[in-house]
A and B are shown apart, each in its own frame.
Chain A
Amino acid sequence: MSVGKYSIILTNTETVPGRTIVEFYGLATGNTVRAKHIGRDIMAGLKNLVGGELTGYSELLQDSRREATERMVEQAKSMGANAVVNMRFATSSVAQGAAELFAYGTAVRVE
């Protein structure tokens, strides 16, 4: 059933291409708040002088987004869904050096 990194189907389109939606369960959400690690922050500060990719931050955000998505997936599964459609990501900074990553979508059952 699953394709890719998660145990259910995730899409950001309104349908799942190639399948039909048989039931809607409503909104599934997942969030995580992460702060930067001080060591990474010092490295990023140095890297920031010369520019370029801040690898520490790239990884941090990827991990956090993955965690938010996994929480959303768990919630969708507990509702009985096997897919989440029209998925969206949102980022907001809650405090200096901390960010909230939020993933949400509509939990559905597909054939």
Chain B
Amino acid sequence: MSSEALFALFFNLGFPLLLLLGTYAIGTAIERKHFRDLLQREAKVRQFPLLTFQSLPANWQANSAAMVTGSVVISIDYFKRFVATLRSIFGGRIKTYEPLLDRARREAVLRMTEEALQMGFDAVINVRVETSRLASARRDGKGTAGVEMLAFGTGIKLLRPESS
């Protein structure tokens, strides 16, 4: 085999392979870092009540309310998108996409909670989480494949008997 043919072989096979391996390594590192960060921040707000009720529980008295939101756009790496594309041929569970949605949802809810805390609210009621696909990936796995996660709810300040 001539050196040109070897070069062509490397260029056609080696480069995509390197890209897959490289993005897998970096992507996984970013994902792990994000999960660690999420766990730390979640531990701080664990006591904060988030409710999906439309109205207040019967014995609660609120004196002010306002909308709180949190949103994030997250995408996954090239390798995981590639695996997902392969998976979609045979069908079944796409494991590589699950952490993406999990991360995005937890991040959005955390941002909403942090905003509520910053505004001095005691709880958030009627919490809703919405997902929208920002843009679709092309069949070859290129193009943006981000999801946008939006969490919103009504932050409330409780009327406490001792403070009134």
Which positions in A face B, CB cutoff 8 Å? 2-6, 9-19, 44-45, 47-54, 57-58, 61-62, 65, 87, 89, 91, 93, 97, 99
Q: Flag if B77 contacts A50 (CB, 8 Å).
A: yes
Given contacts A10-B66, A18-B63, contact A51 B80 (CB under 8 A): yes
Q: Given A13-B125, A52-B34, answer yes or no on A3-B64 (Cβ-Cβ < 8 Å).
A: yes
Instruction: Tell me how far the C-beta of B135 lies from the nearest C-beta in chain A, rounded to whole angstroms.
Output: 7
Contacts of A62 in B (CB 8 A): 71
Whether A11 pairs with B75 at a CB distance below 8 angstroms is: no
User: 8 Å CB contacts to A: which residues of B140-164?
Assistant: 143-146, 148, 150, 152-156, 159
Q: A17-B156, A50-B23, A62-B71 are in contact. Are A3 and B66 (CB under 8 A)?
A: yes
Q: Does B85 contact A (CB under 8 A)?
A: no
Shortest B24–chain A CB gap in Å is 9
Task: List A contacts of B130 (CB < 8 A).
Answer: 89, 91
For B, the interface residue count at a CB cutoff of 8 angstroms equals: 50
B23-39 CB mask vs A (1 if < 8 Å, else 0) is: 10011001100100000
Contact status A48-B75, CB under 8 Å:
yes
Contact B30 A52 (CB under 8 A): yes
Residues of B within 8 A of A (CB): 19, 23, 26-27, 30-31, 34, 54-56, 61-69, 71-78, 80, 100, 107, 119, 125-126, 128, 130, 132, 134-135, 143-146, 148, 150, 152-156, 159
Given contacts A4-B155, A6-B67, 19 further A-B contacts (CB under 8 A): A3-B64, A3-B66, A11-B66, A11-B67, A11-B126, A12-B67, A13-B55, A13-B65, A16-B65, A17-B65, A18-B61, A18-B63, A44-B146, A50-B26, A51-B23, A51-B30, A52-B27, A53-B72, A58-B73
- The answer to whether A12 touches B72 (Cβ under 8 A) is no
Checking A5, A13, A49, A65 against B77 with a beta-carbon cut-off of 8 angstroms, the contacting residue is: A49
Inter-subunit contact B75/A52 (CB<8 Å):
yes
Give the docked Cα–Cα distance between A11 and B73 (Å): 24
